Amino acid sequence: MSGDATEHLVFITGGSSGIGLAMIETLPYANARVFNLSRRPAPGSEHVALDLSDPDSWPRVETCFREALAGFSGDRATLVHSAGVLTPIRFAGEGEPEAEVRNVLLNSASPQAIGHAWLRALAARDPEPRSTLLFIGSGASSAPYSGWSGYCAGKAATDHWTRTVGAELDHRGRPARVLCVAPGIVQTAMQAEIRETPERDFPEVARFIELHEGGALRTPKEVAGELWALLERDVPNGSVLDLRDG
Ligand SMILES: NC(=O)c1ccc[n+]([C@@H]2O[C@H](COP(=O)([O-])OP(=O)(O)OC[C@H]3O[C@@H](n4cnc5c(N)ncnc54)[C@H](OP(=O)(O)O)[C@@H]3O)[C@@H](O)[C@H]2O)c1
């Protein structure tokens, strides 16, 4: 496909719901081609139907990047890796084994596998476009939450991959940037799942119900707007940030 009029390529994993969907709905760029990589489709985007907890999907992600970049004459590309999962919210070793492994693959492995694919695909395009890879991080990367071990570990791994790869990209002088930004507590399906979890499996559930009832949750669109604004700023490569820090 010719990308003649397209100035910006935007890829969102997990664009079908919550923060990813709000990123599509609040896209600030005209003349952008937008892809949603997740199992369900999203309005306003081209759907690449993938289960990202299945390693067989990762080469297909790279093919999507390469094909879109090949027909692209603009100079800016953005990947937002928003796909993530808490399921199973259970203490370690007490969940359904297959779901525990899917959690590890999606939260810990897919950010890195997809990050490598992204950087390879960009390097293969001459000239390499300016790009940002934005991971949706979490305060759970540094604070332990009983019941969320796979999620906490995946977010911690992604934070440190971001720091390391940001330094590598600067070392190479590439026009590519990687950032990881925690959004705070956001009113999405993931938060609904938390509030429905028995206290036995998630001892902090009462606090999350209180936060919800007290109106403390941010809206996905509010968060998405702040994330897009952040991407326009000259934030150092490899930064790991929290929107709550302003
Ligand atoms: N909500 C919060 O308070 C909060 C706080 C900190 C960080 N975050 C992070 O924000 C990101 C988005 O979460 P959300 O709150 O917006 O949750 P959400 O509404 O549940 O959305 C999760 C997204 O991830 C996608 N996803 C899940 N499993 C997938 C799989 N196997 N393959 C492909 N896509 C998959 C889903 O798409 P499909 O189901 O269509 O596949 C969906 O679009 C996550 O990384 C989460 O860790 C959220």
Ligand 1 centroid to Cα of residue 68, in Å, is 24
Distance 172 CA to ligand 1 centre (A): 32
Residue 14 alpha carbon, nearest atom of ligand 1:
43
pTM for the model stands at 0.98
For residue 11, what are the β-bridge partners? Answer: 35, 79
The CATH code of the domain at 8-184+219-245 is 3.40.50.720
| Residue whose CA is at the smallest distance from ligand 1 atom 2 | 186
Between CA 159 and CA 63 the distance in angstroms is 25
Check residue 4 and give its pLDDT.
53
- Average pLDDT for residues 89-94, to the nearest whole number? 98
- When pLDDT is averaged across residues 101-129 and rounded to a whole number, the result is 98
Average pLDDT over residues 208-222: 98
Q: How far apart are CA 181 and CA 166, in angstroms?
A: 14
Q: Which atom of ligand 1 is nearest to the CA of 83?
A: 24
Q: Render pLDDT for 167-203 as a digit per residue (tens, 0 to 9).
A: 999 999 999 999 999 999 999 999 999 999 999 999 9
Average pLDDT over residues 78-105: 98
What pLDDT does 1 receive?
42
Give the domain ranges of the chain. Answer: 8-184+219-245
123 lines ligand 1 (CB under 6 A): no
- Answer yes or no: is the C-beta of 134 below 6 A from any ligand 1 atom: no
Distance, CA of 188 to chain centre = 14
User: Which residues, other chains included, contact 85 with Cβ-Cβ below 8 Å and sequence gap of 6+?
Assistant: 53, 102, 103, 106, 107, 151, 190
Q: What is the pLDDT of residue 226?
A: 98
- CA 208 to ligand 1 center in whole angstroms: 18
The pLDDT value recorded for residue 6 is: 87
Residue bearing the CA closest to ligand 1, atom 39: 39
| CA atoms of 45 and 49, how far apart (whole Å) | 12
Phi, psi of 35 (to 5 degrees): -115, 140
Residue 19 Cα: closest atom of ligand 1: 16
User: By alpha-carbon position, which residue is closest to atom 24 of ligand 1?
Assistant: 83
